Amino acid sequence: MVALASLLALAVTLFPAGVQCLWPQPSSIASGATALKLSPGFYIQPDVSPPPADLLAAVAQTELYLRTDNMQRLVLGRGAYDISSVQSAKTLSSLVLSLESGATVESISTEAVKALGSRSEGYTLTVPANGSAATLKANSTLGLYRGLTTFSQMWYEYDGQIYTISAPYDIADSPAYPYRGFMLDTARNYFPVTDIYRTLDAMSWVKINTFHWHITDSQSWPLIVSQYPELAQYGAYSSADVYTPTDIQNIVSYAAARGIDVLLEIDTPGHTASIADAHPEYVACNQATPWSTFANEPPAGQLRFTDPAVRNFTASLLSSVAKTLPSSMFSTGGDELNINCYTYDNQTQAELNSTGLTLEESLSVFTQTTHGALIAEGKTPVVWEEMVLDHNVTLANDTIVMVWISSADAASVADKGFRLVQAPSDYFYLDCGGGGWVGDYPAGDSWCDPFKTWQRAYTYDPLANLTATQIPLVLGGEQLLWTEQSSPTNLDPIVWPRAAASAEVFWTATSPGGGALNVTEALPRLHDIRFRMVQRGVNAIVLQPLWCALRPDACDLNA
């Protein structure tokens, strides 16, 4: 008995009281230190009339997670020392969901794809310690979905008993930023639909609400476009490595039911060599060598945007895809345009001479034409930062700009008055530090070394160097995976749990005390969500030896 008491005391010392289970951290949370059991007959009651089908599906999924997570606490004994307090604890039998008075009942899927700034993701969640019903309230079904995500993270299991040791809970939560994203490139290497589904699941668990899908590039064109089937027919890696219109709709629907908007990107006019497989007449410097003279990476090839036929083709292509998608946003890329490609292209030079336009003026005509087609479909154009900082093109005032080259560029974009998404490579590129992938290169480093740790991402300040008038232009941010060295075999461990870091940066923004987010405080919670991801079938990489995960702070640098 003395030995057991000593071990219990040691466990308490190494695992101080507090909520170690929630990611992202709610914006406001009060919790206790009372054990509470989940009844074997626990149920979630949606007091919403009529309950949308995707809300009922979310309820069923949450109940399944509660029963099957089998998540043990990350402490010495993995929960064995909780048994005495849990045995005498009260039992929670139900969670009641309701919408605030006057709220309109819409599906999660409908709420998830509303324009940025018009979505309601906040909720309040109360879990009493006395066993009376827990309550979850929100102004929308999307808010209820976010609350269900939080509720599912509160519980642990030991010896068949599901419980928490931190009741009561009183949470009032809402995101600091409306855009919280993850970008996946499916053109360098192809990812089956099932991998995308699993990624969307993991995104939803940490309240990421935008799947930025970089679906095409110079290496391949996996997107089957009904109006232009030849693009994938000739540009995909194989007939199996494609996304059919049905695949796209299924992915969009799957995402929306999990509170995620799909922002599709068809990068233009650069990164389009794969179009030449079907339409060589539309592409300048196709397969030109040495590729490093004409492109940032092989193969070379960019749309010949000075050609009116190319402008019309691209506008029609983007419009035909955009009209099939519910999102209010659509990205046309616009990064890494190589000028040499056009300088040495005889047709481009002839067209410039014929029209009297400069290359930049012609680029502006192309951009206005393609963006005009998107705007006609009710879409807000999204571009990479070069379209604002490096080129003299006319963009609609509501265009959204992705900042990627450097975190220092955000102020320059904001200075031009554009709304922006923070996606800087010096903090958020998940592919950095993996070594160089081009051949005949003994140095073998990557252009954006070093590896971007979760700690690096977590310390990012989205508002650094911005003025008070520029701050409202920041919509949020995202972590990104360019897949030159990624495939389905290593997707999960490269992305997770690192991508959860920015999820908390843009949901929570500050520590519970109002100060900067702190990696020491965050690490035990990130361990927790990583272990829970593994329990749910996501192969998230370990953060530390298990010895450290079971002893918070024991492996800190100066411990």
Would you please indicate which residues are annotated as catalytic (active-site) residues? 336
For 14, the token pair is 């190494």
Residue listed under structure tokens 């940490």: 206
d(CA 494, CA 480): 11
Residue closest to 132 by CA, chosen among 92, 89, 86: 92
Give Cβ neighbours of residue 14 (< 8 Å, ≥ 6 apart): 75, 76, 550, 551, 552, 554
Q: If 0-12 CB within 10 Å is exposed, 13-18 middle and 19+ buried, where does residue 545 land?
A: exposed
Residue listed under structure tokens 């040791």: 165
- Dihedral sign from CA coordinates of 504, 505, 506, 512: positive
Residue listed under structure tokens 């476009």: 225
Asked if the peptide bond before residue 299 counts as cis, ω within 30 degrees of 0, the response is yes
Provide the CB-side half-sphere exposure for 60 (13 A, CA). Answer: 8
Partnered with residue 478 across adjacent β-strands are: 181
d(CA 407, CA 413): 11
Give Cβ neighbours of residue 156 (< 8 Å, ≥ 6 apart): 21, 71, 72, 73, 79, 82, 162, 163, 164, 165
d(CA 93, CA 128): 11
Q: What burial letters (b/e) apply to 214-248, b meaning 16+ CB within 10 Å? A: bbbbbbbbbbbbeebeebbeebbbeeeebbeeebb
